[in-house]
A and B are shown apart, each in its own frame.
Chain A
């Protein structure tokens, strides 16, 4: 025979991963079954299906962000003469037996045996690319000129 204990939701603090916004829990009464046999489900009798869906959606979004941990914003100190004022969006992808750090906006990549090496290589490549394109500005195809313009949206030359 089950006995019911009534507890208010405000007695509990939701458990959240660090850095995540708390999932709102509607106020109301939480019913818990106390029994020698542990129940498989706890029934939140006052939570509407819509609110449950909202919590599930939030969890899915959190999962999605965790999956995307291999996407990052990258603003390295690439060269003493340059300052990256707007970070590059970079994807880390396994490729060719190593790891690539790919900046799709400028179609450039760094490569290495691990993530750190790939990002380091990407930083150096971005600096090289910037100086090379800037020095040949007059001879660039429209496509490469577009790459230079994109680079200039991220990078400022701080020393000549």
Chain B
């Protein structure tokens, strides 16, 4: 995986990033921190399968994310189906009690 592809992920998923020893990236949804990943600085090839695992995607979904067939909303839906994002409607009733 190339650095420019990682940058594409950052933009598409609107990842919150911070430069440290590495470039750390966090995916947030409705105020919750859901997934995280990172890349090293420089132009080295990146370990794609490990970044993919951190973003909780299978190979097909991950290549779709890079190639544009998977959108930000699709990613939210994937994480929701996996139970990593709890829909706000499901949270509201217990919060109202």
A107 → chain B closest CB, angstroms:
6
Q: Which one of B7-15, B42-50, B67-75 contacts A? A: B42-50
Q: Number of residues in A with C-beta < 8 Å to the partner?
A: 25
CA distance A98 to B1 in the complex (A): 12
Q: Which of B20, B21, B50 contacts A109 (CB 8 A)?
A: B50
Given A111-B40, A111-B47, verify A144-B20 contact (CB < 8 Å): no
Task: List, sorted by A's number, 9 A–B pairs whose CB atoms are closer than 8 Å.
Answer: A95-B48, A100-B47, A107-B53, A124-B20, A132-B24, A139-B28, A144-B33, A144-B34, A144-B35
Number of A-B contacts (CB under 8 A): 69
Residue of B nearest to A137 (CB): B33
B residues adjacent to A (C-beta < 8 A): 1, 20-22, 24, 26, 28, 31-36, 38, 40, 44-50, 53-54, 56, 84-86
**Majority SS of interface residues in chain B?**
mixed
Shortest CB-to-CB span from A135 to chain B, Å, is 10
User: Which residue in chain B gives the minimum CB-CB distance to A102?
Assistant: B50
Complex alpha-carbon distance, A100 and B56, angstroms: 18
Collect the chain A residues with CB atoms within 8 Å of residue B22's CB: 121, 124-125, 128
B interface footprint on A96-132 (CB within 8 Å = 1, 0 otherwise): 1110101000011101110000000100110011001
